Amino acid sequence: MKTRILTMIAILAVVIPCLYFGGIFMEGLILFIVTVGTYEFSILADHPLPLPFVILLIILEFIGLYLPQKLVFAYVGLIDILLLALPVYHERFTPKDSFICMSFISFFILVGNAVQEIYALGPRFMTLIIVANYSSDSFAYLVGRFFGKHKLNERVSPKKTIEGSIGGWVFGFLFSLLFWKLFMFENEFKLVLLSGIMCPIFGQIGDLAFSAIKRCYGIKDFGNLLPGHGGILDRVDSLLFNLVCFYFLMLWVI
């Protein structure tokens, strides 16, 4: 527990200045998450992917982050076609590897574009998502640890409980409203209300979804970069889902 808390303090010490100053700091944070996340996904392949190929995938992802919005989907589709065709010409690169690469490249490009659009609306919106996400995550853990009795989904994540899930949703919602009251404008209440309701739910689904991936591949964590937390993907799994959820709500409400 102590290691977990200290690591979280270190993470916040890096993330908060990036959100506040933006610009090159925010770009660097995105670069770091995409680079490490891509590597953590790549080791799930049937055969270890060559480092030059992993670097090429990272470069392709970053090109996708800075394309005009109207080109993004066509660009992702082109990459997916090339990856699907690769097993035809390389026997050690299996169709299963194609689907793994397609999934994380598409996901990182689309989430990365969502982050840029959300941040352009105002840094406070990114901070709101983080508050909703990790308050829900933290209180789901605490409520589940002290009051949890009924398993939420034992097949995917044996330790998570229904009580913890409800506690995480309640506190995620309350912290969202508190953040709106302290740092946001009155006319943003509808977006905050909807995100306060939906983000804690999507965050928990994201957590379970990535747990299912780990269980499928027989690994405990995606990596060991963050002591007490695992890899980058172990720390941002729920956040990635919430970014997509909030982006949809933002486009709908605004």
Cβ neighbours, 10 Å, residue 246: 25
Read off the pLDDT of each residue in 103-115 and give the average, rounded to a whole number: 92
**By C-alpha distance, which of 114, 122, 116 is closest to 27?**
116
Average pLDDT over residues 116-135: 92
Same domain, 69 and 177: no
Identify the domain containing residue 66 by its residue range: 35-121
Predicted pLDDT of residue 246: 96
Q: How many domains is the chain partitioned into structurally? A: 2
In a domain, 187, yes or no: yes
Q: Is residue 44 part of a domain?
A: yes
Buried b or exposed e, range 187-220, using 16+ CB within 10 angstroms: ebeebbbbbbebbbbbbbebbbebbebbeeeeee
Positive/negative CA dihedral, 33, 39, 44, 45: positive
Cβ atoms 151, 160 nearer than 8 A: yes
Q: How far apart are CA 152 and CA 136, in angstroms?
A: 15
Q: What pLDDT is attached to residue 3?
A: 77
- Whether 49 and 127 map to the same domain: the answer is no
Please name the amino acid found at residue 155: R
Q: Across residues 173-202, what is the average pLDDT?
A: 94
What was the pLDDT predicted at 45?
86
Which of residues 69, 92, 121 is at a domain's end? Answer: 121
Q: Which of 79, 105, 121 is the last residue of a domain?
A: 121
Kindly tell me if the per-residue pLDDT of 7 is higher than 70. Answer: yes
Considering the domain architecture, whether residues 192 and 241 belong to the same structural domain is answered as: yes
Angle at 224 between CA 218 and CA 225, to 5 degrees: 145
Does the CA dihedral 181-183-188-194 come out positive or negative? Answer: negative
- Quick check: helix, strand or coil at residue 22? coil
Q: How big, in percent rounded to 5, are the helix, strand and coil portions of the chain?
A: 80, 5, 15
184 and 76, same domain (yes or no): no
Q: Do residues 99 and 162 lie in contact, with contact meaning Cβ atoms separated by under 8 Å? A: no
**pTM for the complete prediction?**
0.91
Residue 1 is predicted with a pLDDT of: 63
- Rounded distance between C-alpha atoms, residue 221 and residue 232, angstroms: 9
Asked if residue 199 lies in contact with residue 244, where contact means CB atoms within 8 angstroms, the answer is no
pLDDT at 4 over 80: no
Question: How far from 247 is each of 33, 118, 207, 216, CA to CA, in Å?
Answer: 19, 7, 18, 29
Q: What's the pLDDT tens digit per position in 14-59?
A: 888 888 888 899 889 988 999 999 999 988 888 888 999 999 999 9
For residues 95-107, average pLDDT: 92
For residue 28, tell me if it sits in a domain.
no
pLDDT in tens, 63-100: 999 898 889 999 999 999 999 999 999 888 999 999 99
- Is residue 146 assigned to a domain? yes
pLDDT at 228 over 90: no
The percentage of residues in the chain with a pLDDT greater than 70, rounded to a whole number, is: 99
End-of-domain residue from the set 67, 86, 121: 121
Cα–Cα distance, 149 to 164 (Å, whole number): 9
What is the pLDDT, as a whole number, of residue 99? 93
- The backbone torsions φ and ψ at residue 44, rounded to the nearest 5 degrees and listed phi first, read -80, -10
Residues 80, 102 contacting (CB under 8 angstroms):
yes
